[in-house]
Structure 1
Amino acid sequence: MSEPSARDRRRWAQYLVNERAEARVYRELAGRRSGQEREILLQLAEAEGRHEAHWLTLLGGEPASLPRASKRTRMLGWMARHFGPIFVLALAQNAEGRSPYDDDPHATAAMAADEKVHQEVVRGLAARGRRQLSGGFRAAVFGANDGLVSNLALVMGIGAAGASAQFVLFSGIAGLLAGALSMGAGEYVSVRSQREMLEATQPGEFADGILPDLDLDANELALVYRTRGMSADAALARAEQTLARARRPDVVAAHTGPVGVPDDRDVVGSAWRAAFFSFLCFASGAIIPVLPWIFGMAGVPAVVLALVLVGLALLGTGAIVGLLSGAAPLRRALRQLLIGYGAAAVTYLLGLLFGVSLG
């Protein structure tokens, strides 16, 4: 092999410090988890240690000086120390998917394959956290964004129609209360209905004690398992196993249990929790566009400040959604901003059509 260039050595040193930092992130996360998740995170850290050893070998030992870890890796480390694992794992999922080892001739094929596997492992860990958050988080995000956008649109439209500052304030508060109550009630009905539908689709359990007396062959019993998502061969094998177990005199009851149908009720979450988060977050979002009028402002300055405050809030909620979904936070933040400002612009123009300019 030819003598490595100075550029190669700098790149290897950067890989080295990044691998060390990523291993440290996984160890810090493992320290805050238990059971299977802790073991998985520690094994990920161990794998990063193997990659670190590869670059140390190419460098011929520990370099005299090392660069700083990449900004992305340092941010992961900071978040691992200050925030919950859900945000960190969501970011790490994207980071593992952008491994430079695919195109680097000095990285082994096994290392490139490791990174792809790591992405799926981290995706699975992040998915657990997303499922735990999904019901309340969905209601919170939708509630906050609806409050921000709807009340901004309301005060912009009324303000553009030439209404007084007191009327804009009254309308904003009324919109906050009406919208929060409507969102909370709607979220409760929605989640409650969804849970009831999921409960209706969950398979019932057999009266196991009567299985030995049923006048059914295994093929017919297999149809039950096929309706639960099993393949024909797997369903037949399960039916034969169930009947054989039920006919044994020493077995009082052979529990079959639901097969092949995932229970999504935990993902949907609690109806009351969703309603509470929706009400609270809508109210929290809806109060922001009204703040300038609450503090006595009016006219164009109030509208401009409301736009700035709502814009910052939309950027924040969009970035959080991006982080938790594993997408680029900036792109999601800008999308939220454009949607919110677009709705406000439409109502502002409608207000101009039906009234006079701000004054």
Structure 2
Amino acid sequence: MTGSPRAEPRASDIRRWRRYLADEQLEAAVYRDLAQRRTGEEREILLALAEAEARHEQHWRLLLGDDIGRTLRGATRTRILGFLARRFGSVFVLALAQRAESRSPYETDSDATAAMAADERIHEEVVRGLATRGRMRLSGTFRAAVFGANDGLVSNLALVIGISASGVANHVVLLTGIAGLLAGALSMGAGEYVSVRSQRELLESSTPDPDARSAVADLDVDANELALVYRARGMSEEEADTHAAEVLRTNDLAVVADPSDHLEVDEHESVGTGLSAALSSFCFFASGAIIPVLPYIFGLTGFPALIVAAVLVGLALLGTGAVVGILSGASPLKRGLRQLGIGYGAALVTYVLGLLFGTTGV
């Protein structure tokens, strides 16, 4: 249900309605652009969202009437979102769209209908669901990238600052930083290799044995121990008995080898090989750990080198935190500042310890 045009709307109302109209047009275009990069169900969902935004657009057109004037450009963040959707169409754009839907002003605007406000709330959940699919697909790689780079940034900054504060020569700080980079990267790579290999081995041990199918024909129908298999996989006793009886009746061997629908396995955690995970972790850690060493590589010494290293690492931490915020649908600034605070906190502790060690001659 749309609202009725006002007899004499105020100039401020007209400006606000025009802004809403422009935003709805841009948001509909964003969903259409995203739909062009999707297929199947995701494409249909995005096109349905675009149609919903078009209904909202029509509401503001009716309110404006002859005062519609020229179309405004819309909010800056919506224009940026549209640019990203046309160029990339990735999960990052969906995460930004989720955050944009959560900021809808319709709930507090008397000129918007209750249905429009409810639509925006539901749109947020729809986009959240689409973004979650993408987050699940990249979560393993994303986790390795963020954790690896962040560990490299924080640990090597803390190491370099702590050693530098103790008063040692510049070449010692440089060598220590490079040693910390190599040691940390190798440790991360080895740890990720063991982690992924162990995860894959655990999943393999949980996969049903295809050779068990050969035993079906010789099972005792009265004992029906096949039901225990399905109960162990998560079925209730009644469901297991019914399913096992059907298997024994039809002698359908393929049913036995079919993995249980009740066994939930987080498949994205097991994607990839141990070697690829190790190489990725090595590179991600090294890319972060090299940053606090750069000032010393280029010849800076003493306090200026510490300041430059801290600034470079701070910018990188803000970047990784912002990426985490975007993907999680949260505030990029808050997540960036959180990363910055944690990193600088660790560096400050080692700096103070370095000063103490240097003073006491330890």
- Name the TM tier (shorter chain): 0.7 to 0.9
- Secondary structure of residue in 2 paired with 1:107: coil
Change (3 A) 1:185 1:284: same
Tell me whether 1:355 sits opposite 2:358 in the alignment.
yes
Q: What displacement does 1:108 show?
A: 2.7
Match of 2:150 among 127, 145, 165: 145
Which stretch shifts more, 152-161 or 49-58?
Answer: 49-58
Change (3 A) 1:254 1:151: closer
Q: What displacement does 1:353 show?
A: 0.4
Q: What displacement does 1:298 show?
A: 0.5
Q: What is the TM-score normalised by the length of structure 1?
A: 0.88
Q: What displacement does 1:109 show?
A: 2.9
User: Which residue in the other structure is 1:105 paired with?
Assistant: 110
Tell me whether 1:210 sits opposite 2:212 in the alignment.
no
Check conservation: 2:221, 2:248, Cα contact below 8 A: no
Q: What displacement does 1:13 show?
A: 1.8
Match of 1:339 among 339, 342, 346: 342
Check conservation: 1:19, 1:51, Cα contact below 8 A: yes
Which stretch shifts more, 15-24 or 74-83?
Answer: 74-83
- Secondary structure of residue in 2 paired with 1:40: helix
Structure-1 separation of matches of 2:327 and 2:334: 13
User: Which residue in the other structure is 1:290 paired with?
Assistant: 293
Q: What displacement does 1:278 show?
A: 1.1
User: Which residue in the other structure is 1:196 paired with?
Assistant: 201
Q: What displacement does 1:279 show?
A: 0.5
- Secondary structure of residue in 2 paired with 1:144: helix
Q: What displacement does 1:15 show?
A: 1.6
Structure-1 separation of matches of 2:217 and 2:268: 31
Mark the runs of 5 or more structure 1 residues left unpaired by the alignment.
Answer: none
Structure-1 separation of matches of 2:20 and 2:259: 49
Which stretch shifts more, 30-39 or 299-308?
Answer: 30-39
Tell me whether 1:281 sits opposite 2:287 in the alignment.
no
Check conservation: 1:26, 1:45, Cα contact below 8 A: yes
User: Which residue in the other structure is 2:306 paired with?
Assistant: 303
- Secondary structure of residue in 2 paired with 1:297: coil
Structure-1 separation of matches of 2:67 and 2:28: 17
CA deviations over 1:49-68 (Å, ceiling 9, x no partner): 12111221222267112333
User: Which residue in the other structure is 2:33 paired with?
Assistant: 28
Tell me whether 1:326 sits opposite 2:329 in the alignment.
yes
Tell me whether 1:316 sits opposite 2:319 in the alignment.
yes
| C-alpha RMSD of matched pairs (Å) | 2.8
Change (3 A) 1:208 1:260: farther
Check conservation: 1:203, 1:261, Cα contact below 8 A: no
Structure-2 separation of matches of 1:99 and 1:238: 49
CA deviations over 1:290-318 (Å, ceiling 9, x no partner): 10110111011111111111111111111
Check conservation: 2:96, 2:329, Cα contact below 8 A: yes
Mark the runs of 5 or more structure 2 residues left unpaired by the alignment.
Answer: none
User: Which residue in the other structure is 1:261 paired with?
Assistant: 263
User: Which residue in the other structure is 1:37 paired with?
Assistant: 42
Matched to 1:355, the amino acid is G
Q: What is the TM-score normalised by the length of structure 2?
A: 0.87
Check conservation: 1:145, 1:282, Cα contact below 8 A: yes
Change (3 A) 1:62 1:130: farther
Check conservation: 2:227, 2:243, Cα contact below 8 A: no
Structure-1 separation of matches of 2:253 and 2:172: 74
Work out the number of aligned pairs and report it.
352
Check conservation: 2:216, 2:253, Cα contact below 8 A: no
User: Which residue in the other structure is 2:96 paired with?
Assistant: 91
Structure-1 separation of matches of 2:23 and 2:314: 35
Structure-1 separation of matches of 2:206 and 2:358: 53
Structure-2 separation of matches of 1:252 and 1:228: 17
Check conservation: 2:162, 2:352, Cα contact below 8 A: yes
Structure-2 separation of matches of 1:99 and 1:302: 46
Q: What displacement does 1:163 show?
A: 0.7
Q: What displacement does 1:24 show?
A: 0.7
Structure-2 separation of matches of 1:276 and 1:124: 32
- Identity, in percent, stands at 61
Which stretch shifts more, 149-158 or 41-50?
Answer: 41-50
Change (3 A) 1:151 1:11: same
